[in-house]
């Protein structure tokens, strides 16, 4: 089969009338990641209602976040913002004693121009707890971009490195998974320090650390770390690399403010992505990769049962969490046909390597490059879904049940944000999510009609 593919990636832009989570939702995973933090969302009942419903049962577990609910007096500036926030922060210090308080600015604080950035340093000095400000509001950002604003704010608080180049060589023993008996002496290469950015569950960070360790590359730290007090050193000569596609502000901050060097790489989602990610990092430090091809091959091998299920099936991304390009690239490599990649925001520079891997993957798999739609329009998209009748629509909860009732299989996109999808070991989890609606459909095959709406 030879399909001549000779196209470049184009990004269309629609109206931006689409459904996504408010970016303040990032606190739900960040408060769990950063164990000694407290998130204070300065906003209205609307924000609070979203949080309490979106985060469901977490609310009842005494979470380390709260709303500073603005009342009419705050809006009309009859009350003093500074005194109000001070009172709340003192109470938080007393009840929870966090190492850092992170103020999440919302639409309302933007609209009334509350000077959070101005008040924070003053209050920080007064109460003795670091206060960060992140403007994770729905006027500017979508869903996962909330994390981006928090990490960008946090980057400023990272300490300066003591040495720009790491200390003398260390020799470390590690056990390889596939050759448990054979002890191998692995030597870290003598390379400048590497900091990875993006919030991932701690077992996923150790998996990725280990993956790089096999290539004798040492990860000096993560932004964010498990504790605020363990933030990594950043500065001139430090190399940084992102693990998630929605961290463009953080990347910019690291380059411009912290003078770090960014390694542009595809994101370690799927075995192909993980391999490409490592292959971009290694040469920067003059390291030749070892055994990667075989490793990737073995992972694909282990996915065979799921690959048989997805091969030839079509998928439509409505777009709401910015993981779409990486996921689409992986699914195309799995043999799926992607109709459309909806995405809230496309940073072509930060995602450059990912986009070019997408292009390569399409050429390799002999499929045309799918259309990428930035700021999509949900009602147009639903019309397209009706025409295309994809085997799977990856979409938000607002559309999932109505589409299912019309016989379209859906997968709730938010699950990709909360599931572990990074690295070689978690590729199976991605496919577990993608195939679940397909497997369910198979189980219910003989149940009768799939469309259950009144006309």
Partner 1 sequence: MKLAYWMYAGPAHIGTLRVASSFKNVHAIMHAPLGDDYFNVMRSMLERERDFTAATASIVDRHVLARGSQERVVDNILRKDKEEHPDLIILTPTCTSSILQEDLQNFVNRASIISDSDVIFADVDHYQVNEIQAADRTLEQVVRYYLDRCHRQEKWDQFLTDAPSVNIIGIFTLGFHNQHDCRELRRLLRDLDIEINQIIPEGGSVEDLKNLPKAWFNLIPYREVGLMTAMYLNKEYGMPYISTAPMGAVDMAEWIRQIKKNVNTLALSSSSKRVDYEPYIDRQTRFVSQAAWFSRSIDCQNLTGKETVVFGDTTHAASITKILVREMGIRVSCTGTYCKHDAEWFKEQIKGFCDEILITDDHAEVGDMIAHMEPSAIFGTQMERHIGKRLDIPCGVISAPVHIQNFPLGYRPFLGYEGTNQIADLVYNSFALGMEDHLLDIFGGHDTKEIISKSLSTNIGLIWNPESRLELSKIPRFAREKVERNTEKFARQKGIETITVEVIYAAKEALNT
Numbered residues of the known binding site: 22, 47, 107
Nearest distance from residue 88's CB to partner 1, in Å?
5
- Evaluate the CA torsion angle 101, 102, 107, 110 in order and state its sign: positive
Q: Which of 398, 407, 439, 444 binds partner 1 (CB under 8 A)?
A: 398
Shortest gap between Cβ of 32 and partner 1 (angstroms)?
16
- Among 16, 18, 21, CA closest to 418: 21
Is residue 69 within a helix (H) or strand (E), and if so which, with residue range? strand 65-69
Residue 384 lies near partner 1 (rule: CB under 8 A): no
Residues 345 and 338: their CA atoms lie apart, in Å, by 19
Among 14, 36, 110, 429, binds partner 1 (CB under 8 A): 110
Helix H, strand E, coil C: the string for 141-205 is CCCCHHHHHHHHHHHCCCCCCCCCECCCCCEEEEECCCCCCCEEEEECCCCECEEEECCCCHHHH
In the complex with partner 1, the residue whose CB is nearer, 388 or 397, is: 397
Our CB check for partner 1 shows the closer of 18 and 239 to be: 18
CB of 419 to partner 1, least distance (A): 18
Q: Which of 13, 56, 178, 259 binds partner 1 (CB under 8 A)?
A: 56
Q: Total residues at the site for partner 1 (CB under 8 A)?
A: 64
Among 5, 9, 88, 438, binds partner 1 (CB under 8 A): 88
Nearest distance in Å: CB 98, partner 1: 14
Which residues are annotated as part of the binding site for [4Fe-4S] cluster?
A: 22, 47, 107
Q: How far is the CB of 64 from partner 1 (least distance, A)?
A: 11
Question: Least distance from C-beta 107 to partner 1, angstroms?
Answer: 5
- In the complex, what is the shortest distance from the CB of residue 66 to partner 1, in angstroms, rounded to a whole number? 5
- Strands in 366-429 per DSSP E: 371-374, 392-395, 410-412
CA angle 89, 103, 83 (to 5 degrees): 40
**Per-residue buried b or exposed e for 380-400, using 16+ beta carbons within 10 Å of the residue's own CB:** ebbebbeeeebbbbbbbeebb
Name the one range near partner 1 by CB under 8 A: 4-12, 137-145, 185-193, 250-258: 137-145
| Binds partner 1 (CB under 8 A): choice among 1, 2, 4, 60 | 60
For residue 374, the minimal CB distance to partner 1 (Å) is 13
Among 38, 39, 143, 350, indicate the residue that binds partner 1 (CB under 8 A).
143
Q: Which helix (DSSP H) or strand (DSSP E) does residue 39 occupy?
A: strand 37-43
Q: Output the CA–CA distances (angstroms, integers) from residue 451 to 10, 364, 381, 410, in the order listed.
A: 35, 36, 19, 14
DSSP conformational letter for 350: T
Does position 453 interact with partner 1 (CB under 8 A)? The reply is: yes
Q: Which long-range contacts (CB under 8 A, 24 or more apart) does 253-256 make?
A: 253/152, 253/155, 253/156, 254/155, 254/197
Which 399-418 positions form the footprint of partner 1 (CB under 8 A)? 399-402, 405
Query: How many helices (H) does the chain have, and how many strands (E)?
Result: 18, 16
Told to check if 189 binds partner 1 by CB under 8 A, we report no
Q: Which position among 36, 69, 124, 429 is part of the footprint of partner 1 (CB under 8 A)?
A: 69
CB closer to partner 1 out of 73 and 312: 73
Q: Is 379 in the site for partner 1 (CB under 8 A)?
A: yes
Nearest one of 85, 98, 81, 89 to 38, comparing CA atoms = 98
203 binds partner 1 (CB under 8 A): no
Told to check if 397 binds partner 1 by CB under 8 A, we report: yes
Which residue ranges make up the site for partner 1 (CB under 8 A)?
16-24, 44-46, 48-50, 52-54, 56, 59-60, 63, 66-72, 74-75, 79, 81, 84-85, 87-88, 91-92, 107-108, 110-112, 137-143, 378-379, 382, 396-402, 405, 452-453
């Amino acid at each position: 089969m030879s399909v001549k593919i000779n196209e470049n990636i184009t990004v269309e832009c629609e109206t931006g009338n689409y459904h996504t989570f408010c970016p303040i939702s990032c606190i739900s995973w960040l408060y769990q990641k950063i164990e000694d933090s407290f998130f204070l969302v300065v906003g209205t009942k609307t924000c609070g209602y979203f949080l309490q419903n979106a985060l469901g049962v977490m609310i009842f577990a005494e979470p380390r976040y709260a709303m500073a609910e603005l009342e009419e007096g705050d809006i009309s500036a009859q009350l003093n913002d500074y005194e109000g926030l001070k009172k709340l922060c003192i109470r938080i210090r007393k009840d929870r004693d966090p190492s850092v308080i992170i103020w999440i600015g919302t639409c309302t604080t933007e609209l009334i121009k509350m000077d959070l950035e101005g008040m924070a340093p003053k209050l920080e000095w007064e109460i003795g707890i670091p206060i960060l400000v992140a403007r994770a509001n729905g006027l500017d950002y979508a869903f996962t971009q909330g994390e981006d604003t928090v990490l960008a704010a946090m980057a400023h608080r990272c300490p300066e490195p003591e040495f720009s180049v790491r200390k003398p060589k260390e020799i470390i023993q590690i056990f390889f998974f596939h050759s448990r008996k054979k002890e191998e002496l692995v030597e870290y290469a003598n390379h400048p320090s590497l900091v990875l950015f993006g919030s991932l569950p701690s077992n996923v960070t150790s998996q990725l650390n280990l993956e790089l360790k096999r290539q004798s590359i040492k990860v000096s730290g993560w932004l964010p770390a498990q504790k605020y007090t363990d933030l990594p050193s950043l500065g001139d000569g430090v190399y940084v690399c992102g693990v998630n596609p929605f961290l463009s502000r953080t990347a910019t901050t690291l380059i411009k403010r912290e003078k770090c060097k960014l390694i542009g790489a595809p994101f370690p989602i799927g075995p192909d992505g993980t391999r490409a990610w490592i292959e971009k990092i290694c040469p920067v430090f003059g390291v030749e990769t070892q055994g990667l091809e075989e490793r990737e091959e073995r992972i694909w091998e282990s996915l065979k049962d799921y690959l048989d299920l997805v091969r030839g099936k079509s998928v439509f991304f409505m777009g709401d969490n910015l993981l779409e390009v990486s996921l689409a690239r992986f699914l195309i490599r799995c043999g799926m046909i992607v109709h459309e990649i909806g995405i809230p925001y496309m940073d072509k520079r930060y995602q450059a390597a990912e986009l070019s891997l997408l292009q390569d993957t399409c050429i390799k798999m002999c499929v045309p490059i799918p259309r990428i739609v930035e700021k999509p329009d949900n009602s147009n998209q639903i019309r397209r879904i009706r025409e295309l009748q994809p085997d799977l629509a990856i979409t938000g909860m607002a559309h999932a049940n109505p589409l299912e009732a019309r016989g379209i299989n859906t997968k709730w996109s938010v699950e990709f944000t909360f599931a572990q999808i990074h690295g070689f070991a978690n590729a199976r989890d991605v496919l577990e999510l993608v195939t679940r609606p397909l497997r369910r459909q198979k189980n219910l095959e003989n149940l009768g009609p799939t469309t259950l709406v009144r006309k």
